[in-house]
Amino acid sequence: MTQQAEAVFSAEQFLQSRHSVRQYVPGTVISDEELNELLELASLAPSSWNLQHWRFLVIREQANKEKLLPIAFGQQQVVDAAAVVVVLGDLEANKVAEQVFADATPEIRAQMKQQIDGAYAGNERLARDEAIRNAAFAAQQLMLAAKAKGYDTVPMGGYNPQALIEEFAIPERYIPVVMLPIGKAAQPARVTGRLPLSHQTIHERF
């Protein structure tokens, strides 16, 4: 087997190894350094116009994790995980265009800004779709980064978004996309299957 083929094979196994873990070893500490490594890797996710629509609301203090429990309808993983990262989507991601294109020529920067602001202007639906779509890429990448560093995760949509916004003072600019406990597995994940590829895939056209 060539080196390249081996690498492809192990990446495949790695992808197969991520499962949603719902029971974590309580009291596990994830250091700033480890956490930042995960977030840096997650931030390599692609995004439209490279606007990086995600924000990571990191919750590690036990008292704050306890506050998440009723918000997440009693799902214990939010308390026992080492950290809960709430991935938020930026509804005003167009505002960072200047910064993203800081190294471009003034002409390119102005052109990109015009294009992006044009797309966002008066288009709340687009802003929301973009926020959710792009933040979801970062969330997936964060789960894989965590797995690569020996942690497990479970993506969660089962929480009350309004209660979350109020409790953690999330500004109107941001929309909660997914809640992501990260921790050391106390119990393995439930085995899940997938629907057949023939259900999932449409070739060429409907």
Question: Per residue, what are the HEC states of 7-65?
Answer: HHHHHHHHHHHCCECCCECCCCCCCHHHHHHHHHHHCCCCCHHHCCCEEEEEECCHHHH
Residue 41 near residue 141, CB atoms below 8 Å:
yes
Stretch that binds ligand FMN, among 5-13, 15-23, 119-127, 166-174 (CB under 6 A): 15-23
Query: Binding to ligand FMN by residue 186, rule CB under 6 A?
Result: no
Query: Binding to ligand FMN by residue 155, rule CB under 6 A?
Result: yes
Query: Least CB distance from residue 16 to ligand FMN, whole Å?
Result: 10
Q: Which two tokens stand for residue 162?
A: 């309004």
Query: Least CB distance from residue 137 to ligand FMN, whole Å?
Result: 13
Question: What mask of x and - would describe binding to ligand FMN in positions 46 to 65, judged by CB under 6 A?
Answer: --------------------
Query: Binding to ligand FMN by residue 74, rule CB under 6 A?
Result: no
Query: Least CB distance from residue 20 to ligand FMN, whole Å?
Result: 3
Whole-number Å distance between alpha carbons of 92 and 99 = 13
Choose, by CB under 6 A, the member of 48, 75, 76, 160 that binds ligand FMN: 75
Query: Least CB distance from residue 188 to ligand FMN, whole Å?
Result: 10
Stretch that binds ligand FMN, among 9-17, 62-70, 89-97, 152-160 (CB under 6 A): 152-160
Phi, psi of 185 (to 5 degrees): -65, 130
Q: Which two tokens stand for residue 135?
A: 């933040």
Residue 90 near residue 131, CB atoms below 8 Å:
yes
Stretch that binds ligand FMN, among 8-16, 19-27, 30-38, 58-66 (CB under 6 A): 19-27
Query: Least CB distance from residue 24 to ligand FMN, whole Å?
Result: 12
Query: Binding to ligand FMN by residue 156, rule CB under 6 A?
Result: yes
Whole-number Å distance between alpha carbons of 186 and 45 = 29
Query: Binding to ligand FMN by residue 189, rule CB under 6 A?
Result: yes
Query: Binding to ligand FMN by residue 20, rule CB under 6 A?
Result: yes
The 10 Å Cβ neighbour count of residue 31 is 10
CA 173 centroid distance within chain: 17
